[in-house]
């Protein structure tokens, strides 16, 4: 079948073509074959491609045998296709663009790069996988270069590397042998083996040691490491001991704190429940021997008292005032104070305001003074300073070479030189209410002789100079009260006591005066009332050692407890009869004016006079003068009664705190001719004054 699409030169060769034409150079033939393949590849018809393949095969068969292959680095660019014979002129029209050869890396360069990489990058050693990869790449390059020969790959031969044009041997040396070309494939394999050996050397593992060598090596390394290990161990032990000590100490402290906290909670709970149980189960006292008073009682319930708060207040007062073993607890507290040196030579017990400048006469300064309340079973019920007015003229303290004594303030009492001193804080106008109440009594009983005896306390005569600034003048206060009286006769008890202040007219451990002080005051009263009075020779003196009075009960001061005093009293030689009544002047019974104190606690010995306060007492004497005396008093008035038995025919004794009748009516019914209000300065300036008014109007 004729080939219409092929060039004429191929389909119909010229007749003048010699039968034996000269064979083409091998490289030229290969170049022409590649050019024909490229041209045929651009043609779409299959027939043309087949014809081009036949032409390529014919060219290669007619070409010279292939020369030995040159080394990779000596490859030359392929010789361009030429049309020297003119037989393949149609190829001249084909645009030829030779392919660029694939670069082949030199094996020496590969080895050097691997060595440099292994030296510079110790952390990324050459691995077997990397070696296998490089070997595969090198081998692939070699196989690719060999595949360019027509014997291995006839269909797609590689372009030969450019090489210098071969020159034909000179005509003068026709038999000269062609120069030998190096054996390229063999050299290539040697380079590959060199690369592989170098790579294997880099990745080769050291030969395994025998057990003996390994043991020796281990012993050697162990011996070399022992000093460093010992040093490290010592340092580690020191650090650990230090840290462990701190941890242990902290842990011990934490456990100790927890244990103490647990014990504290347990002890507190035990004490709390123990005290609560004791308050409920143990017997509560009714009388305080130390304070010489009757303790608070449980109030009676009523709706009115409950709504007003009096009932709940009374219950609280009852439980606070009647603590079981209160005397024992007070004694223990005092022993503790003494043991720890908390008691000095001078102790101020109470909150006492300092003296203030004298206010203007029109409006005295107001202040509040502390109250000392002592409700006794058989002596005084209330001994208080009240909040009314107080002031004091500034006085210069005289210089004293002796050092000042220490003081402690509690309950308005000064303890100095083994003596308790109640500190008076009233001022002149505080007693004005007391004077006005007495004036109202005089108005209602104009035919009755009214007398007012305000008795000063121990502070007026025994307060040391360095503590004078803590008190105000009782004399000024009493003088102001006397100036406010209208029709009531004042009795100057202050002057009578001051004349005998060097004598034991007051007790050291008790807030009351002594029987001797009461004698001098009674003598002054008898002179004011113009009644007879006998001397001290008409009385028998009795005494008892070991007396510790109410001031110890107020302060619980160990100084007073450890310095008891003599308690003495005087019994009249004259005959008289003593009758006791209840608060309503009922249930009479006769008894002794002096209570037997042989089996009584020392703190209650002052109750020997008429056996206390909470009853009405009537004394009938042998003095037929028709004078009937009613004494309205606090506990200070108890000591006066024995010395008035020689002055009045009948004596009625009423404590304004324990009297349930109307005082005016009672005096009229009993035919009273004389009334003596006998009380200390605290009562005249305090709430006891209101009780005097209460019994007047009730």
Give pLDDT, residue 122: 47
Mean pLDDT is highest, among 98-102, 324-328, 500-504, for: 500-504
Tens digits of residue pLDDT in 212-243: 888 888 888 888 888 888 888 888 888 888 88
Is 682:638 a contact under the CB 8 Å cutoff?
no
- The region of weakest confidence among 3-17, 175-189, 395-409 is 395-409
Tens digits of residue pLDDT in 35-45: 887 777 777 67
Residue that has been written with the tokens 């003593």 in this structure: 578
Give pLDDT, residue 248: 83
Whole-number Å distance between alpha carbons of 251 and 198: 65
- The region of weakest confidence among 87-91, 296-300, 314-318, 564-568 is 87-91
| Contacts for 379 with CB less than 8 Å, ≥ 6 apart | 292, 293, 512, 550, 606, 607, 609, 612, 613, 635, 638
Give pLDDT, residue 532: 95
For the segment 316-320, the average pLDDT, to the nearest whole number, is 81
Give pLDDT, residue 288: 65
Give pLDDT, residue 506: 96
SS3 2: coil
Q: Beta strand pairing status for 616-621 and 589-591?
A: unpaired
- The region of weakest confidence among 92-96, 501-505, 509-513 is 92-96
CA–CA–CA angle 23, 28, 30 (5° rounding):
100
SS3 287: strand
Give pLDDT, residue 651: 97
Whole-number Å distance between alpha carbons of 509 and 503: 16
Give pLDDT, residue 99: 52
The answer to whether residue 188 scores a pLDDT higher than 60 is: yes
Structure tokens, 335: 């022993």
Whole-number Å distance between alpha carbons of 685 and 432: 8
Is 532:655 a contact under the CB 8 Å cutoff?
no
Tens digits of residue pLDDT in 455-478: 999 999 999 998 898 899 999 999
Band of pLDDT at residue 305, cut at 50, 70 and 90 = confident
Is 385:370 a contact under the CB 8 Å cutoff?
yes
Whole-number Å distance between alpha carbons of 698 and 696: 6
The answer to whether residue 347 scores a pLDDT higher than 70 is: no
Give pLDDT, residue 524: 96
DSSP assignment letter at 405:
P
Q: Where would I find the H helices in 394-514?
A: 432-444, 459-462, 474-484, 493-498
Structure tokens, 64: 């010279």
Tens digits of residue pLDDT in 630-677: 999 999 999 999 999 999 999 999 999 999 999 999 999 999 999 999
Tens digits of residue pLDDT in 250-302: 888 888 888 888 898 998 888 888 877 877 777 777 776 655 566 778 888 88
Residue that has been written with the tokens 């009240």 in this structure: 386
Longest Cα–Cα distance in the chain: 207
Give pLDDT, residue 338: 57
Whole-number Å distance between alpha carbons of 435 and 354: 26
Give pLDDT, residue 97: 47
For the segment 174-185, the average pLDDT, to the nearest whole number, is 48
For the segment 339-367, the average pLDDT, to the nearest whole number, is 46
Band of pLDDT at residue 331, cut at 50, 70 and 90 = low
Of 99, 130, 100, 101, give the one whose Cα is nearest residue 117: 130
Give pLDDT, residue 369: 34
Per the model's pLDDT, the better-predicted residue between 269 and 343 turns out to be: 269
DSSP assignment letter at 536:
G
Q: What are the domain boundaries of the chain?
A: 8-163+183-203, 287-324, 327-396+403-697
Of 357, 451, 449, 497, give the one whose Cα is nearest residue 673: 449
Mean pLDDT is highest, among 160-169, 419-428, 688-697, for: 688-697
Of 673, 679, 677, give the one whose Cα is nearest residue 649: 673
The answer to whether residue 100 scores a pLDDT higher than 60 is: no
Count the alpha carbons within 13 Å of 487 in the hemisphere toward its beta carbon. 17
Tens digits of residue pLDDT in 375-432: 333 334 333 333 333 333 434 434 444 444 443 444 578 888 889 898 898 877 788 9
Tens digits of residue pLDDT in 580-592: 999 999 999 999 9
Is 646:572 a contact under the CB 8 Å cutoff?
yes
In the predicted model, what is the mean pLDDT of the chain? 75
């Amino acid at each position: 079948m004729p080939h219409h699409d092929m060039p004429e030169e191929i389909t119909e060769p010229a007749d003048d073509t010699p039968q034996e034409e000269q064979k083409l150079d091998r490289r030229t033939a290969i170049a022409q074959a590649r050019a024909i393949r490229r041209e045929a590849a651009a043609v779409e018809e299959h027939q043309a491609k087949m014809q081009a393949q036949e032409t390529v095969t014919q060219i290669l068969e007619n070409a010279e045998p292939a020369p030995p292959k040159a080394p990779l680095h000596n490859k030359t660019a392929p010789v361009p296709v030429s049309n020297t014979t003119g037989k393949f002129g149609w190829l001249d029209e084909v645009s030829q663009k030779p392919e660029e050869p694939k670069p082949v890396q030199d094996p020496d360069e590969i080895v050097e790069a691997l060595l440099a990489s292994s030296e510079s990058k110790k952390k990324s050693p050459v691995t077997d996988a990397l070696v296998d990869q490089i070997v595969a790449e090198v081998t692939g390059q070699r196989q690719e270069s060999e595949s360019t020969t027509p014997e291995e790959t006839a269909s797609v031969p590689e372009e030969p590397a450019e090489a210098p044009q071969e020159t034909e041997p000179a005509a003068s040396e026709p038999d000269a042998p062609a120069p030998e070309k190096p054996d390229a494939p063999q050299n290539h394999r040697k380079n590959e083996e060199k690369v592989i050996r170098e790579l294997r050397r880099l990745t080769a593992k050291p030969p395994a040691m025998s057990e003996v060598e390994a043991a020796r090596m281990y012993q050697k390394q162990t011996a070399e490491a022992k000093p460093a290990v010992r040093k490290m161990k010592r340092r580690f032990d020191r650090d650990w001991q230090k840290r462990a000590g701190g941890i242990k100490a902290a842990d011990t402290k934490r456990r100790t704190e927890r244990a103490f906290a647990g014990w504290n909670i347990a002890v507190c709970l035990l004490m709390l429940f123990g005290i609560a149980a004791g308050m409920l189960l143990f017997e509560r006292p009714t009388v305080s021997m130390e304070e010489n008073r009757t303790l608070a009682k449980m109030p009676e319930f009523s709706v009115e008292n409950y709504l007003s708060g009096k009932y709940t207040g009374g219950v609280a007062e009852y439980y606070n005032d009647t603590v079981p073993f209160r005397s024992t607890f007070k004694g223990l507290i005092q022993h503790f104070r003494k043991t720890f040196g908390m008691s000095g030579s001078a102790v101020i017990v109470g909150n006492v305001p300092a003296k203030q400048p004298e206010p203007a006469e029109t409006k005295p300064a107001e202040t509040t003074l502390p109250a000392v309340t002592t409700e006794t079973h058989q002596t005084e019920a209330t001994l208080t300073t009240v909040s009314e007015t107080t002031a004091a003229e500034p006085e210069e303290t005289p210089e004293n070479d002796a050092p000042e004594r220490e003081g402690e303030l509690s309950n308005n009492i000064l303890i100095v030189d083994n003596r308790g001193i109640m500190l008076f804080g009233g001022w002149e106008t505080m007693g004005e209410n007391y004077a006005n109440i007495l004036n109202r009594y005089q108005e209602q009983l104009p035919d009755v002789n009214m007398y007012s005896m305000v008795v000063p306390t121990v502070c007026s005569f025994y307060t040391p100079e360095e503590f004078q600034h803590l008190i105000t003048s009782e004399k000024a206060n009493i003088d102001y009260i006397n100036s406010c009286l209208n029709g009531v006769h004042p009795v100057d008890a202050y002057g009578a006591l001051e004349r005998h202040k060097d004598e034991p007219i007051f007790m050291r451990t008790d807030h009351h005066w002594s029987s001797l002080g009461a004698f001098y005051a009674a003598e002054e009263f008898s002179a004011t009332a113009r009644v007879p009075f006998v001397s001290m020779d008409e009385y028998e003196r009795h005494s008892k050692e070991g007396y510790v009075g109410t001031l110890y009960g107020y302060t619980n001061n160990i100084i007073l407890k450890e310095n008891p005093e003599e308690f003495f009293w005087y019994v009249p030689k004259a005959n008289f009869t003593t009758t006791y009544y209840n608060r309503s002047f009922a249930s009479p019974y006769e008894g002794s004016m002096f209570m037997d104190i042989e089996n009584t606690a020392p703190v209650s010995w002052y109750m020997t006079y008429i056996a206390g306060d909470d009853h009405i007492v009537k004394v009938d004497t042998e003095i037929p003068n028709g004078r009937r005396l009613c004494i309205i008093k606090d506990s200070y008035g108890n000591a006066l009664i024995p010395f008035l038995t020689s002055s009045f025919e009948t004596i009625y004794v009423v404590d304004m705190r324990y009297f349930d009748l109307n005082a005016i009516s009672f005096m009229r019914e009993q035919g009273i001719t004389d009334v003596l209000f006998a009380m200390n300065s605290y009562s005249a300036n305090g709430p006891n004054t209101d009780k005097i008014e209460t019994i007047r109007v009730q």
